[in-house]
Amino acid sequence: MLAHGSGGKLAHELVESSFLKALANPLLAKLDDSAVFNFSGRLAFTTDSYVVSPIFFPGGDIGKLAVCGTVNDLAMSGAKPLYLSLSFIIEEGLPQGELSQVVDSIQKAAQEAGVEIVTGDTKVVHRGSADKLFINTAGVGIIPEGVDISGNNARSGDKVILSGAIGDHGIAVLSRREGLSFSTQLESDCAPLGGLVADMLAASSNIHSLRDPTRGGLATTLNELAKQSRVSIRIEEEKVLVRDEVLAACEMLGFDPLYVANEGKLVAIVPPEDTDKVLKVMRENHYGKEAAIIGEVRAEHPGRVVMKTCLGSSRIIDMLVGDILPRIC
């Protein structure tokens, strides 16, 4: 009800029954207007909002997505994610059971990611003013000494590593929204990648760039890195893993899997001398077992991404124009 967002008795009961019980930790339990904690060293700070439709999809839901998306943004700077904020914008009429299911998912994802939810907010809006539930997050983490990861750091000769198959998340969400079915179950790849990044940094603190290819997919991510670092990137189509279900859906709908969103994959730009050891530890991690070198960084034609196709020709890969899959995160 709207009264659950009023700040009164019902609001306090909602916080205590739905949030504190599931997400309990000493910082959150104080219920102060802000969380207070100690830090020493360089910090990473990020924020994001989640408006996915539907809020439940194969392999996850809006709660798991909110936690994973935020910790992954921190991990892409080499940071160890520590604390998150969590704000809910709830449409009047959302069933309590659905909210509880989302919060339980948040708790499980936060536990796996090794982060704590330490502050948050709840608002309830009129029926029709939101689509069930929107979530806003912020996250902070600490960057280890000697780590300098940025989209500006790619250098000619570096290798491009992709941690696994692309397009699973976007097609999984679309399949639930549009009622598509496949002969096998296709699930979102939504996952927290902090542990994978930690393993990679243990193998080499000289990783140049990390990025998770979410909205806009792999193609847009590679274009962002090429432009930021003023280099070109050349990849090989046969090295980019795409599942049969994703390929089938893309062929049917006229999509290119290079532009379909992911929520549990990363792209790493690594110096050639460190590539083998980084790739080895990635393949030993559950979330990197399909990792492969898909290309390299070059100096000519700065800002351009080119793909060598399976036919041996070269194709320029531009950044996504428009929005082929709305509301996927």
Does the pLDDT of residue 182 top 80, yes or no?
A: no
Whether 149 is covered by a domain: the verdict is no
Classify residue 33: in a domain, yes or no.
yes
- For the chain, what is the domain count? 2
Report the amino acid identity of residue 111.
Q
Residue 177 and residue 81 in one domain: no
User: Of the candidates 245, 241, 247, which has an alpha carbon nearest to the alpha carbon of residue 265?
Assistant: 241
Arithmetic mean of pLDDT over the chain: 94
CATH of the domain at 237: 3.90.650.10
Average pLDDT estimate for 210-220: 96
User: Of the candidates 143, 177, 211, which is a domain's last residue?
Assistant: 143
The tens digit of pLDDT for each residue in 300-325 reads 999 999 999 999 999 999 998 888 88
**What pTM, to 2 d.p., does this model score?**
0.93
- What pLDDT is recorded for position 183? 66
What range does the domain containing 209 cover? 159-316
Instruction: Give domain status of residue 270, yes or no.
Output: yes
List, for residues 64-91, the tens digit of each pLDDT value.
999 999 999 999 999 999 999 999 999 9
Question: Is residue 231 included in any domain, yes or no?
Answer: yes
Let me know if residue 324 belongs to a domain: no
Q: Are residues 172 and 307 in the same domain?
A: yes
Torsion of CA 42, 114, 84, 35, to 10 degrees: -80
Residue 70 is part of a domain; what is its CATH number? 3.30.1330.10
Q: Are residues 139 and 171 in the same domain?
A: no
Q: Flag whether 198 is in a domain.
A: yes
**pLDDT at residue number 180:** 76
Q: Looking at the predicted structure, is the pLDDT value of residue 184 above 70?
A: no
244 shares a domain with 139: no
**Domain contains 148:** no
CA torsion, points 135, 138, 141, 143, in degrees to nearest 10?
Answer: 110
Domain boundary among 119, 143, 167: 143
Q: Could you tell me if 231 and 101 lie in one domain?
A: no
Please check the confidence at residue 190 and state whether its pLDDT lies above 90.
Answer: yes
Distance CA 61, CA 204 (A): 33
List, for residues 85-119, the tens digit of each pLDDT value.
999 999 999 999 999 999 999 999 999 999 999 99
Is 327 a domain residue? Answer: no
80 and 228, same domain (yes or no): no
pLDDT of amino acid 325 = 82
Q: How many residues does the chain have?
A: 329
Judge whether residue 6 has pLDDT over 80: no
Whether 21 has a pLDDT exceeding 90, the answer reads no
| Segment 34-61, tens digit of pLDDT | 999 888 889 999 999 999 999 999 999 9
pLDDT at 251 over 90: yes
